């Protein structure tokens, strides 16, 4: 993995780290699963660690073998992408912000 000199990640870096195709990373952006991605001077996407973790969450949701409906989890990923923040918060605050129950977040954390 060749990280950019600035410490930012490229699309191919994210894809390799998650074991997915680069087009999947681009689709995650298109589908609203990732926060806004700034572009470098060269025009390429410049991902951060926050983008990597958000993409990891999207992978988990899309690949998870569960019996229930997937739509609420997809909405959760999209909501997390819109509300990414480096600010720390307690689980009840995260629950409100993501429009998910505390139990749902704790269950995800356990898994």
- For the stretch 29-82, pLDDT in tens is 999 999 999 998 889 999 999 999 999 999 988 887 777 788 888 888 898 888
86 falls within a domain: yes
Q: pLDDT-based confidence at 85, cuts 50/70/90?
A: low
Mean pLDDT of the region 11-33: 96
Note whether residue 55 is domain-resident.
Answer: yes
What CATH number does residue 50 fall under?
A: 1.10.1660.10
The answer to whether residue 41 is domain-embedded is: yes
Looking at the 3D structure of the chain, how many domains does it have? 1
Q: Is residue 1 part of a domain?
A: no
Residue range of the domain that includes 36: 11-110
Confirm whether 92 is domain-assigned: yes
Task: Give the residue, 10 or 111, on which the prediction is more confident.
Answer: 10
Q: What secondary structure, in 3-state letters, does the chain show?
A: CCCCCCCCECHHHHHHHHCCCHHHHHHHHHCCCCCCCCECCCCCECECHHHHHHHHHHHHHHHCCCCCCCHHHHHHHHHHHHCCCCCCCCHHHHHHHHCCCHHHHHHHHHC
With a pLDDT cut of 90, the percent of the chain lying above it is 45
- Greater model confidence, 94 or 9: 9
* Residue 3 resides in a domain: no
């Amino acid at each position: 993995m060749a990280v950019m000199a600035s410490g930012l990640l490229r699309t191919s870096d994210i894809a390799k780290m998650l074991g997915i195709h680069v087009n999947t990373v681009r689709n995650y952006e298109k589908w609203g699963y990732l926060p806004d991605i700034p572009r470098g001077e060269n025009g390429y996407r410049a991902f951060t660690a926050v983008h990597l973790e958000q993409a990891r969450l999207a992978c988990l949701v899309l690949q998870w073998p569960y019996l229930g409906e997937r739509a609420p989890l997809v909405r959760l990923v999209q909501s997390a992408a819109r509300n990414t923040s480096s600010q720390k918060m307690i689980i009840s605050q995260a629950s409100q912000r993501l429009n998910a129950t505390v139990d749902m977040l704790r269950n995800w954390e356990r898994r």
